[in-house]
């Protein structure tokens, strides 16, 4: 059943939004009030949606061309001058191509840089494996001091962009290409380090974040209709993760599922395992990309093929509930 916590924050309606669009809009709005915000992009601003900010504040927008390493170091340089750089490119380039710059120029000095990576996960679709970041969370999580956030919908994206602008330190924000149904309404409050339990149950715990949240939500409702109540947690703050919420739920249900559009190595599932193996040993079943590269296809076809669609998620849950 819907948790008490969730009753006032869940969105009712059929509006959809892509997290990248919500990002672009929120960033442009923040630019009005926070003059220290500067935005950088690598010739993808019409895809990452920083174009909205660029049009509004051209003097605070810097296009660095197709040169991600340079852009990340440049963001570090701007941050040393008290600016708050929001830098965007696709997740594959932010995490892999500019990894050394993220690590040494940004994270090591703890600079106030917000890396807002779009087109993450296999939900990118037709662009295929070269453009699908399925290891970005693992890379960012392993770099000391970076906050890793994965919003599930447009509302949560806006709240996360606000929180990131407020927070003084490096953040990696994982955004997606495609539109997805809104989950939260404006009452929802996001805090770094906190997850939110959307459904209460006893049979198992399901933890997810990002684009898979709406799919899991639908799966959880189906299970509920069959009389199977499970704890359902949206964990947008992957690092730091909400340990207490995970431990309490695992203690109650004794079985945890994680769902992520990411390699099952190093992502949300791993983060949950790290908490539970040390503090509340519990069986965890990780649903995600099983250590292989993505592929080209429609997001729906890819999700079906990789077991990330509702049917695939339900199949694994049912098998393990027996």
Partner 1 sequence: MQKLKREEIQTLIEKSYKCRKNILKMMRNGEGHIGGAFSSLDILTVLYNKILRHNPDQPKWPDRDRFILSAGHKCLALYSVLADQGYFAEEILWKYNTFDTPVAMHPEEKRLPGIEFSTGSLGHGLPVANAIALSARLDKKNYRVFVVLGDGECAEGSVWEAAMAAAHHKTDNLVIIVDKNGLQVNGRTDDIMSSSPLDEKFKAFGWSTRTINGHDFGQIFDTLSGVPFEKGKPSCIVANTVKCKGLPYGEDKYQFHHWHCELEEIDNAINLIGVEMGKELDKVGK
Residues that bind partner 1 (CB under 8 A): 38, 59-60, 62, 64-65, 67, 69-78, 80-81, 83, 100-101, 104-105, 108-109
Rounded to a whole number of angstroms, the minimum distance from the CB of residue 298 to partner 1 is: 34
Rounded to a whole number of angstroms, the minimum distance from the CB of residue 101 to partner 1 is: 6
Rounded to a whole number of angstroms, the minimum distance from the CB of residue 193 to partner 1 is: 24
Q: Which is nearer to partner 1, 3 or 70 (CB)?
A: 70
Burial of 316 (0-12, 13-18, 19+ CB in 10 A): middle
Q: Which is nearer to partner 1, 114 or 286 (CB)?
A: 114
Residues in the chain: 322
Q: Which is nearer to partner 1, 79 or 250 (CB)?
A: 79
In what side-by-side order are the strands of the sheet with 84-90?
61-63, 37-41, 84-90, 114-118, 171-174, 147-149, 237-239
User: N- to C-terminal Cα distance for the chain?
Assistant: 21
| 278 in active site | no
Q: Which is nearer to partner 1, 9 or 40 (CB)?
A: 40
Bridge partner list, 38 = 85
Which two tokens mark 214? Answer: 């709406």
CA-atom Rg of the chain in angstroms? 19
Q: Which residues contact 27 (CB under 8 A, 6 or more apart)?
A: 37, 39, 49, 50, 52, 53, 86, 116, 161
Q: Which residues contact 220 (CB under 8 A, 6 or more apart)?
A: 198, 199, 206, 230, 232
Rounded to a whole number of angstroms, the minimum distance from the CB of residue 44 to partner 1 is: 15
Q: Which of 68, 135, 156, 243 is catalytic?
A: 68
Rounded to a whole number of angstroms, the minimum distance from the CB of residue 43 to partner 1 is: 12
Report how far residue 80's alpha carbon sits from residue 61's, in angstroms, rounded to the nearest whole number: 17
Report how far residue 196's alpha carbon sits from residue 188's, in angstroms, rounded to the nearest whole number: 10
Report how far residue 249's alpha carbon sits from residue 242's, in angstroms, rounded to the nearest whole number: 11
Q: Which is nearer to partner 1, 4 or 59 (CB)?
A: 59
For residue 207, which phi and psi values (nearest 5 degrees)? -120, 130
Active site residues per annotation = 68
């Amino acid at each position: 059943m819907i948790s008490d916590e969730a009753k006032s924050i869940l969105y009712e309606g059929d509006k959809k939004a892509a997290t990248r669009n919500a990002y672009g809009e929120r960033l442009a709005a923040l630019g009005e009030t926070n003059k220290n915000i500067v935005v950088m992009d690598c010739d993808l601003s019409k895809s990452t949606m920083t174009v909205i900010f660029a049009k509004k504040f051209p003097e605070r927008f810097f296009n660095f061309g197709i040169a991600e390493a340079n852009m990340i170091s440049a963001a570090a340089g701007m941050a040393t001058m008290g600016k708050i750089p929001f830098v965007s490119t696709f997740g594959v380039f932010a995490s892999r191509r500019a990894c050394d710059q993220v690590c040494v120029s940004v994270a090591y000095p703890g600079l106030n840089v917000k890396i807002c990576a779009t087109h993450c996960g296999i939900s990118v679709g037709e662009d295929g494996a070269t453009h699908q970041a399925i290891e970005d969370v693992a890379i960012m999580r392993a770099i000391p001091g970076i906050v890793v956030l994965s919003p599930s919908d447009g509302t949560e994206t806006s709240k996360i962009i606000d929180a990131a602008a407020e927070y003084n330190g490096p953040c990696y924000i994982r955004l997606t290409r495609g539109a997805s149904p809104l989950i939260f309404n404006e009452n929802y409050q996001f805090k770094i380090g906190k997850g939110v339990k959307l459904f209460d149950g006893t049979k198992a715990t399901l933890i997810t974040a990002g684009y898979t949240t709406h799919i899991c939500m639908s799966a959880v409702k189906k299970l509920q209709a069959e009389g199977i109540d499970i704890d359902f947690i949206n964990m947008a703050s992957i690092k730091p993760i909400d340990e207490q919420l995970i431990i309490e739920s695992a203690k109650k249900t004794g079985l945890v599922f994680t769902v992520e559009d990411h390699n099952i190595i190093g992502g949300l599932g791993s983060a949950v395992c790290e908490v539970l193996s040390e503090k509340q040993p519990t069986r965890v079943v990780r649903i995600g990309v099983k250590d292989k590269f993505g592929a080209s296809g429609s997001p729906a076809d890819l999700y079906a093929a990789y077991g990330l669609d509702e049917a695939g998620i339900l199949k694994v849950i049912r098998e393990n509930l027996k």
